[in-house]
Amino acid sequence: MLLADLIQGQPNPWRELYDPNPVPIAGATRQVAENLNVAARFIADRFLSEASSLSEVGAGEGKIVDINGEKVAVYRHRTGATHALDCGHSGCIVHWNSAEKSWDFPWGALQPHRQGDLRSAD
């Protein structure tokens, strides 16, 4: 019904709802600001580290550690054992979620298991 009306140039009450360009000017400022923040994080995450040695990672926490110029996600179990996270995805950036004690990935989360190894939380 809508498509037929649009083709024939007829008015249709659903036209505005399905308009492919619905971004109002008032919302554009917020959208641009959010996109700039995403771009800034995309760049900064590849250069910033949270620690420069394993000793800076406390028990029960995870940090991005700069080891020989490489960014490594490291988790220290409460027993003191450290575990490096190897993400097989090229350029994968993770963040430690201290509230949930998990690594946040763009595609999900990974939590330390009771024994200290890493397992998928999904």
Neighbouring residues of 59: CB distance < 8 A, sequence distance ≥ 6: 76, 77, 78, 79, 80
Name residue 65's beta-bridge partners. 51, 72
Residue-wise pLDDT for 83-114, tens only, equals 887 655 556 678 888 888 888 876 655 555 44
Per-residue pLDDT, averaged over 34-58, amounts to: 85
Is residue 98 within 8 Å of 61, Cβ to Cβ? yes
| Sheet with 61-67, side-by-side order of all strands | 61-67, 70-76, 82-85
Mean pLDDT of the chain: 78
Residue-wise pLDDT for 4-30, tens only, equals 998 999 999 988 888 877 666 777 788
